[in-house]
A and B are shown apart, each in its own frame.
Chain A
Amino acid sequence: MGKLKNKTFFHSIKIDHNRCIGCVQCMRYCPTKAIRVKNSKAIINKELCIDCGECLRVCEQNAIVPITTSSADINKFKYIVALPSPVLFSQFGQNIMPDQILSALRAIGFDYVYDEAWMCEMTSMAIEKYLGENREQLPIISSTCPVVVRLIQKLFPSLCKLIIPIEPPREIAAKNLREQLSQKHDLKKKDIGIFHITPCSAKLVSINHPETMKYSHLDGALSIQEIYNEIMMILKKSTEPHLMDVQNRISGIGIGWAISGGEIRGLKSSLAVSVSGVHDTIRILEDVEAGKLKNIEYLECLICPDGCVGGPLTVENRFVAKSNALRLIKTFGGKKKVDENLFMNLYRRGFFSFEEEVKPKPFPALDRNRSKAIKKIQQIDRIFKKLPKIDCGLCGSPDCKTFAEDVVRNEAKMEKCIFKKKCERKK
C-alpha cells in the first residue's frame, strides 16, 4: 500500500497542449468554471476542478487525457489483483455473462480477479443498517462517487456531515482482499497490488488523495477503455473452461450499482432518491442545503448521466450499457446472496466505516478580508454591467460574469474583451 501514491498530483485529467486548439468547448461545459483559455490553450485551475470528466466528454480534439495507472507501475507488484466495477459487466453485449468477463481478466494475466458486485451488496446492507440507526439529520448522502464527495466539500461544505460514513464497495473490497490474500498466499501486504477497473478517472484521485482515510486500500486504477480490447479478444477465442465461477455469488442488487438508482434498489426504504448528472446533482444539493429534502432518508448522487454506466471511460454507449445492466439485474434476481452473519460480524467491527470524516474544503473566497471581498463583489457588478453579456468566451473566460470576476481577481485584463476594445476605440 502507498507505494505508488503520488503526493504532488491532484487531478485525473490533463490537457495535451499539442492537440488543444483553444476552441473553448471544454471551458463552456465545465460546471465549476475551472477552465480558462489562454494563448489558444485550455488551462485547468487545480483549485476549482472536481474531476467530473465533463471536459473529457466534449473535447473533439481528444486533447483532454485521462490519467490512470501505468502498466510499469502495475508491474511493480508481485501479486496483481483486478477489482472491476460492475459497469464492466454491461460493456460486452447481451450474451456475455459476468463469469466469462472475470475469467477473461484472469486470462489477461491478473493473478486474482474479484467481483466487486458482491461487495456492493454488502455495502447496501451497511447503508441499510446505518440508515436504521441514524435519523437525526436527513437526507443521508451516498459516498460512492468521489466527484460528488468533492463537489460537496467545495460547493456545499455544510453538507459534509450528511455524507454516509461508509466507504464505497471498491475500498471495502480492497481492504478485505488484502487481508485475505496475504494470509492465503503468504504474501506481504505491500507486495499485493489491487487495481480498480474503472469507468472514470476520478477514482484515481480518490486513490491518490483519499478524503476519509490516510491511504486508500487500492493501489491504482485502469480504465475500462484501456482493457476492453484485450478482454474482447479473449472472449472471442475463448473455448477453454472458465477460470472463475461467480454466478451463484452475486445478485442483481450488486450488479445494479452500475446504474443510477442501484444503491437504492437494495434498500427497504421507499424514501430514497437517486439523481445523476452533474447539473442535476448540483441542483438537488442546493435543495438539500435549503432544507427542502428533510423528508428523504437517502440521496444517491452520481455525477455521470445514468450513473457509472455513463462514465467517461466506458466503451459501450450508455443507453445500451444500461439496458444490458438491467437485463443482468433481472437474470440474477433481487434476492440478497451475502451471508447475514458474516455481514454483521464485519459491520460491528466497523469494517465499513470511514477512518476520518469528510472535511469541508470550500472554494477560495474573493478575498480573505471580508470588507475587501464585499468591495470586490461590487466591483464585479460594476464591470459586469459594462460587458455585452453574450458569453462569447473569446476573452478566455467561460462567460461575462466570470470574466468580470477574473478581472477583479487580477487573472484577466479588461482588454481581453473584444467588445470593450471596440467601444474604447470609438471614444
Chain B
Amino acid sequence: MSTVAVLSQTFNIKGGDFVNAGEPACKIRNILREIGINANVIRRVAIAAYEAEMNVVMYARQGEIRLKITPHKILLEIEDTGQGIEDITLAMQPGYSTATEEMREMGFGAGMGLPNIKKNSDIFNIHSTHGKGTRLKLTFKLNGKTKK
C-alpha cells in the first residue's frame, strides 16, 4: 500500500470529427466525480479538456488526451499530429483565430480556447512544431491554493 496511487487513461481524438467531440471530456468528468474531486476543479478540468479537444478536432488529423490523476494533482496532456502552431504568442492572444468560415458558423473561432485553457489550469505548458504537431501539458493542483 506504500506505492502512490496513480490513475492513467488515454482517449483518442479524431481530427474533423465534430460528432463525437466532447466525449473524452465527459468521461474525464465522470472519473473525477467518482474520485470526489472538488466541483470547481472538475469544472475547470472539463472546460480545459473540452477546449483542447476541440482544437485537435479543428486543427489536427489525430490526437489523444492522456489523463493522469495522483492524490495531489491532475495532469492532462493533449497531443496531436496536426499542422502545429507557427507563432504561439500570437495563438495565445485572446481573439486570435485561424478558424474557417464554416467553423465560425458552428460557433467556434472566437479565439478564446487557448486563453481559456491557460486561465483554468494551474500550470500551463504548450509546445508546438510547425507542420508536425502540438502538445499541451496542463496541471491542476488538488491541494493547497487552487484557482477559483
Contact = CB atoms under 8 A, between A and B. Distances in A.
A291 interface: yes
B50 A290 contact: yes
A365 B35 contact: yes
A171 to B, nearest CB: 26
A18 B4 CA distance: 49
B91 interface: no
Interface in A361-405: 362-368, 370-375, 377-378, 405
Interface stretch (B26-34, B81-89, B92-100, B129-137): B26-34
B122 to A, nearest CB: 17
Interface residues of B, number: 28
B33 A290 contact: no
Given A158-B39, A370-B71, A291 B51 contact: yes
A286 B26 contact: yes
A374 B26 contact: no
B90 interface: no
Given A158-B42, A291-B50, A372 B5 contact: yes
B120 to A, nearest CB: 9
A117 B25 CA distance: 41
A286 B29 contact: yes
A367 B7 contact: no
Interface string B97-133: 0000000000100000000100000000000000000
B147 interface: no
Nearest to A291: B47
Interface in A281-314: 286-287, 289-292, 295
B16 interface: no
A360 interface: yes
Nearest to B143: A370
Contacts of B70: 374
Interface string B64-83: 00000111000000000000
Interface in A138-191: 155, 157-159
B46 A290 contact: yes
Contacts of A290: 22, 25-26, 46-47, 49-50
Contact of B36 (A159, A289, A366): A366
Contacts of A365: 33-36
B116 A377 contact: no
Contacts of A157: 39
B29 A370 contact: no
A375 B5 contact: yes
Given A295-B107, A371-B5, A287 B29 contact: no
Nearest to B44: A158
Nearest to B42: A158
Most interface-central of A157, A362, A373 (chain B CB within 10 A): A373
Contacts of B42: 158, 289
A363 B47 contact: no
Contacts of A291: 46-47, 50-51, 116
22 contacts: A158-B39, A158-B43, A286-B22, A289-B42, A289-B46, A290-B22, A290-B46, A290-B49, A290-B50, A291-B51, A362-B36, A363-B33, A365-B34, A365-B35, A366-B34, A370-B5, A370-B142, A373-B35, A374-B5, A374-B7, A377-B7, A377-B34
Interface of B: 4-7, 22, 25-26, 29, 31, 33-36, 39-40, 42-43, 46-47, 49-51, 69-71, 107, 116, 142
Interface of A: 155, 157-159, 286-287, 289-292, 295, 360, 362-368, 370-375, 377-378, 405
| Minimum-distance CB pairs A-B, first 9 | A365-B36, A158-B43, A157-B39, A290-B50, A374-B5, A158-B39, A371-B5, A373-B35, A291-B47
